[in-house]
Structure 1
Amino acid sequence: MNNRQHTILAILLAAALLFSAGVARAARIKDIADLEGVRYNQLLGYGLVIGLNGTGDDIKKAVFTKQAMINMIKRLGLSITPDVFRRMKTDNVAAVMVTAELPPFARPGSKIDVMVSSMGDATSLSGGTLLMTPLKGADGKTYAVAQGPLAVGAIAFGGKAAKVQKNFPTAGRIADGALVERSVGYHLPPSGDLLYQLRNTDFTTAAHMAEAINRRFGPNTAHSIDSGSVKVLMPQDYKNDLVTFISDLENIDVQVDVPARIVVNERTGTIVMGKDVRISKVAVSHGNLNLIISESTVISQPNPLAAGQTVTAPQTTVEAVEDEGNLVVLDMGVSINEIAKALNAIGATPRDLIAIFQAIKAAGALQGELIIL
């Protein structure tokens, strides 16, 4: 085997070990399901970043930046005459959108991280400071207020002829940059029922989850509603201690069932195969077709006494080379380990494997789902 074949085999075997380990070991409920109503909430705000070293918005073009500056100055009790308004010129201010996620049970006074992204034509937010920015939820209410210096983690330098840039200097982050002003509470339904939603819907996993809860807290405590929901009735012993009940429940181990699935990404050549993928007996032959295209310029020079002119013409040469394809037979019900060895034997690259799996699926020999990203 060459190095390329060893690499392919190692990738597929690693995927097999990853999936087999995940199926053999049970997962906790907190790792596979979420309690309905306990979730993050998106926050959004519009603000200004100041203190930029000539890398801010061009306020002649970014009218919204200029208007935001005027509104801010007015809120501070200063007045601007029309003449000053027309002559206003600065490049150390940038209009930005501020986003954040409000975690569940966040109380007033707690702090959350915020992301700051440029809206206008600013070239860098490095060294800037975000001014006080209210962050609102989907209901239009203010839940947090953000302010502070940005950590950009990027650089951008250059002149008229060249430029050097690392990462994206027009976006930054402020750790603990927003102060929570309003909380989003969780209220237990009057019936005392809890509804858990599986992150990866599956009927078998939902049934296993209900069975595990009933073994821990007694019969009829939980039942699966569908492939993605499990309803849990709080026992009488926990009526006055919701936190302890949820803690005990979410630490229960559940046997997770993984569907037979192959996921491929054609853009990157990434292939992930599930442990339960099986293939019916099929013969596979795959050969690579290489096209070699070369171009050269032919110069036609007339005789010295002729009246013609020197001309040039492009000349293109195309050569097709097809590698010999080996035939490999995959027996019925082979495992992912055997698939990896068999396909590696014919020298298939990751991108070749994508085409092979598509052909096996089209032939009806793939016992599983093929997902192409």
Structure 2
Amino acid sequence: MIRLCLAALALLAAAAPASAQRVKDLGGFQGIRTNQLTGYGIVVGLPGTGDDNLEYTVQSMKSVTSRLGLQLPSGVAPGLKNAAVVMVTAELPAFAKPGQKLDITVSSMGKSKSLRGGTLILTPLQGADGQIYAMAQGNLAVGGLGAEGKDGSQIVVNTPSSGRIPEGATVERTVDTGFDRSPFLTFNLARADFTTAQRVQDAINTRFGGGRARAIDGVSIAVSAPAGADIRAELMSEIENLTVEAAEAPARVIVNARTGTVVINSAVRVTPAAVTHGKLTVRIDERQEASQPAPFSKGETVMEQHSGVGVEEEKRPMFLIEPGPKLADVVKAVNAIGASPADLVAILEALKEAGALKAELIIL
């Protein structure tokens, strides 16, 4: 299986020539981002799968009813098997305007077994600054389910204590990005690379004139822009659609030791190295035999223990890895060794320590 995977990677690397990418696929402008929202609310209408009489559930219900003008008697703990306290999360997109809808995720905080069939009561969603940016409410869509028998046996499918409400929140406040007032626009690459940053700078200067863009470091490119939201929006649109040939990624070998997955990118190089990989197997056989005395004798039947210990070592000759300028050469060398996924990790680590593997080895 691992041979097929590595061979497929080699073919893909050989067949995929370097191609230009849009600038918008390499990163994004600073400040143009999503914001996380969080809220604390109550789900009602559950069929007996709620939090029951947890103290904070009772307090939350009293707070909700007080906003509606209903005061629950003091000292009374109402049964709340049909209610559950939940955390509500959402992402506020950049430039979201009041009245737009957001998808929200609702997750139980207490001992509620399922939120299926519940309704979220009006819940404010706050940002990191403590301001309310959206209000959430609606009926939950829960993908999981659970069932329990009287003897305590139960079955749970997926996660019934969490659900979603499509378009369950309404935006109430916009986030000021300030992109129309800052002295310049800053484009940030998703992955730091000085070569790519320089190429993005050159592409912008070629399109809009020299001196317009300046690479600050391996991530950020500062672009001078005239004031005005409409002018800057047009400029940003043109910059995002410029094409740039991104620099080749650093040489990396990614190994997932748990699943045996190995990914080698096209920048990996190897120098000459001799590799041998043997396998030692120790086998112990245990068996018992009954020793029966002769008929009419005074002897007793006893059990005798017999053990057999053997050692087998698989003989594999040393294999020479030739210097490989391409990924296909690395794949060919690894296939020739015939290593299993677990053994391959050990071989790659040894090649790295020996200095023969010119790549960063990342083990997940």
When normalised by structure 1's length, the TM-score is 0.85
Amino acid at match of 2:130: G
Per the alignment, do residues 335 and 73 of structure 1 end up closer, same or farther by CA in structure 2, a change over 3 Å counting? Answer: same
Take 1:320 and 1:147, find their aligned partners in 2: how far apart are those partners? 68
CA contact (8 A) 2:197 2:220 kept: yes
Amino acid at match of 2:199: H
Equivalent in the alignment of 2:255: 264
Per the alignment, do residues 358 and 127 of structure 1 end up closer, same or farther by CA in structure 2, a change over 3 Å counting? Answer: same
290-299 or 249-258: bigger deviation: 290-299
Per the alignment, do residues 191 and 81 of structure 1 end up closer, same or farther by CA in structure 2, a change over 3 Å counting? Answer: closer
Q: How does 1:264-303 map to 2 (within 5 A)?
A: 264-289=255-280
Q: Secondary structure at the match of 2:94?
A: coil
Match of 1:107 among 80, 84, 97: 97
CA contact (8 A) 1:326 1:346 kept: no
Following superposition, the deviation at residue 240 of structure 1 comes to 5.1
Take 2:282 and 2:49, find their aligned partners in 1: how far apart are those partners? 47
Q: Secondary structure at the match of 2:349?
A: helix
CA contact (8 A) 1:51 1:129 kept: yes
Equivalent in the alignment of 1:28: 22
Amino acid at match of 1:99: T
Match of 2:73 among 64, 73, 81: 81
Equivalent in the alignment of 2:295: none
CA contact (8 A) 1:52 1:128 kept: yes
Amino acid at match of 1:78: L
Q: Does 1:71 align with 2:57?
A: no
Following superposition, the deviation at residue 268 of structure 1 comes to 2.4
Please give the per-residue CA displacement for 1:201-223, whole angstroms capped at 9, x wherever unaligned.
Answer: 01111111111222222211212
Per the alignment, do residues 32 and 371 of structure 1 end up closer, same or farther by CA in structure 2, a change over 3 Å counting? Answer: same
Q: Does 1:371 align with 2:345?
A: no
How many percent identity over aligned positions?
46
Take 1:138 and 1:221, find their aligned partners in 2: how far apart are those partners? 34
CA contact (8 A) 1:213 1:221 kept: yes
285-294 or 217-226: bigger deviation: 285-294
Equivalent in the alignment of 1:309: none
Q: Does 1:145 align with 2:139?
A: no
Following superposition, the deviation at residue 327 of structure 1 comes to 2.9
Following superposition, the deviation at residue 275 of structure 1 comes to 0.5
Per the alignment, do residues 223 and 19 of structure 1 end up closer, same or farther by CA in structure 2, a change over 3 Å counting? Answer: farther
CA contact (8 A) 1:327 1:346 kept: no
Unaligned runs of 5+ in 2: 292-297
Following superposition, the deviation at residue 17 of structure 1 comes to 5.0
CA contact (8 A) 1:221 1:235 kept: no
Unaligned runs of 5+ in 1: 1-6, 301-305, 307-311
Equivalent in the alignment of 2:109: 119
Please give the per-residue CA displacement for 1:252-300, whole angstroms capped at 9, x wherever unaligned.
Answer: 1111121111122222222221111001111122234456678899999
Following superposition, the deviation at residue 139 of structure 1 comes to 0.8
Take 1:298 and 1:94, find their aligned partners in 2: how far apart are those partners? 65
Following superposition, the deviation at residue 127 of structure 1 comes to 1.5
Q: Secondary structure at the match of 2:60?
A: helix
CA contact (8 A) 1:282 1:365 kept: yes
Per the alignment, do residues 262 and 81 of structure 1 end up closer, same or farther by CA in structure 2, a change over 3 Å counting? Answer: same
Equivalent in the alignment of 1:58: 52
Take 2:108 and 2:13, find their aligned partners in 1: how far apart are those partners? 41
Match of 1:243 among 213, 230, 233: 233
CA contact (8 A) 1:130 1:150 kept: yes
Take 2:121 and 2:21, find their aligned partners in 1: how far apart are those partners? 44
Amino acid at match of 1:75: R
Take 2:344 and 2:127, find their aligned partners in 1: how far apart are those partners? 46
Aligned residues: 358
CA contact (8 A) 1:280 1:333 kept: yes
User: Aligned-pair RMSD on alpha carbons?
Assistant: 3.2
Q: Secondary structure at the match of 2:169?
A: strand
CA contact (8 A) 2:180 2:232 kept: no
Q: Secondary structure at the match of 2:179?
A: coil
Following superposition, the deviation at residue 319 of structure 1 comes to 6.5
Take 1:224 and 1:359, find their aligned partners in 2: how far apart are those partners? 39
Following superposition, the deviation at residue 14 of structure 1 comes to 3.4
When normalised by structure 2's length, the TM-score is 0.87
Following superposition, the deviation at residue 235 of structure 1 comes to 6.8
Per the alignment, do residues 139 and 292 of structure 1 end up closer, same or farther by CA in structure 2, a change over 3 Å counting? Answer: farther
Following superposition, the deviation at residue 114 of structure 1 comes to 0.8
